[in-house]
Amino acid sequence: MRILGIDPGVATTGWAIIDFDKDNKPHPVDYGAILTAKTLTISQRLEEIYKDLNELIVKFKPEYAGVETLLFCNNAKTAITVGEARGVVLLTLQQHNIPLKEFTPLQVKDAITGYGKADKRQVQENVKTICELDEIPKPDDAADALAIAIATEILVSRKQY
List 48, 68, 110, 144, catalytic entry: 68
> Residues at the annotated binding site?
7, 68, 141
Annotated binding site for Mg(2+): 7, 68, 141
Q: Which is the catalytic residue, given 7, 52, 110, 153?
A: 7
Quick check: is 55 catalytic? no
68 assigned to active site: yes
Q: Active-site residue among 110, 141, 144, 153? A: 141
CB 66 within 8 A of CB 54: no
Residue 7: active-site member: yes
Over the range 53-79, which residues count as b (16 or more CB within 10 Å of their CB) and which as e?
Answer: beebbeeeebebbbbbebeeeeeeeee
**Catalytic machinery residues:** 7, 68, 141
